[in-house]
Amino acid sequence: MAERKRAKPIRRTTTGKGANYRPTKSGAGMTKKGVAAYRRKNPGSKLQTAVTEKNPTGKRAARRKSYCARSEGQLKRSSVKTRNDPNSRIRQARRRWRCR
């Protein structure tokens, strides 16, 4: 039988040319460039960047509220180490979204 070629794994870098994700220190989550790359690879996708403004209104406020509720669940279900680490990716992302 012919051997199958394995697909290259998706590069999830936080620095350099292919930086699609923010480093933890700058708030985790995807960069604008990363979101654009994802949407090119996945036509029809509605992925958007974080809502970071202080007082969003309308749909952006609803997106933030929804993200904060979902990410709180992730935080509660994460390991004890992650839950208590102020610099974990989920905590930094929540801080960037201004979740309380």
What pLDDT shows up at residue 17? 67
Task: Record the pTM.
Answer: 0.77
What pLDDT shows up at residue 12? 66
Averaged pLDDT, 64-85: 93
Give the largest CA-CA distance in the chain: 60
pLDDT band for 5, please (50, 70, 90 cuts). confident
Contacts of 11 (CB under 8 A, 6+ apart): 18, 20
pLDDT band for 11, please (50, 70, 90 cuts). low
Report how far residue 71's alpha carbon sits from residue 92's, in angstroms, rounded to the nearest whole number: 11
Any idea which residue has 């039988």 for tokens?
A: 1
Q: Domain boundaries in the chain?
A: 24-96
13-45, pLDDT tens digit by residue? 666 766 788 888 888 889 999 999 999 999 999
Report how far residue 50's alpha carbon sits from residue 95's, in angstroms, rounded to the nearest whole number: 11
